[in-house]
Structure formats: structure tokens, C-alpha cells
Amino acid sequence: MAVAQMVDSRLSLILDDGTDPESGKPIFKSKSFNNVKIAATADQLFAIANAVAPLQQRPLVSVERKDNSHITGE
């Protein structure tokens, strides 16, 4: 049976950068924070993102967590 062990995590803030003048579609920028504690909960990360968001020049649209795992067979 395969086992996945999380090795690192990253928090990304997705920010609104306006709209494309030609297509009218929204433009998004992201700000990422590496080395997030693996044990951090979604509530903790959401609270941190909302604390950091006012320091950004653009409005916060969404919050994402990206995890990397090593998968081994046992």
C-alpha cells in the first residue's frame, strides 16, 4: 500500500489586479509564502491571510494552500 508523507506547504494569496482592457476578463496576481507549517489548520491559514491582506496593494480574492508530499510504497 502506498503512503503519502507531506513534506512542505505553501500559502498563496490571490489578489485582484483589475480587468484586461481588451477581453474584459479579470486579472489576478498571487503572493506566496513558503515554509508554512505542515500542521497549520485551514482556519489558522485563513486568519493569517486576512491579517496580511490589508498590507497588500490589491484586494484579496481567495486563499490557497499548496502541499507537496512524498509517496512511498510499503
pLDDT in tens, 2-27: 999 999 999 999 999 999 999 999 99
**Per residue in 4-36, is it b (16+ CB within 10 Å) or e — as a string?**
eeeeebebbbbbeeeeeeeeeeeeeeebeeeeb
Q: Rounded to two decimals, what is the model's pTM?
A: 0.84
Q: What is the mean pLDDT of residues 50-68?
A: 96
Model pLDDT for residues 29-46, shown as the tens digit of each residue: 999 999 999 999 999 999
The residue type found at 4 is A
Res. 55 pLDDT band, cuts 50 70 90: very high
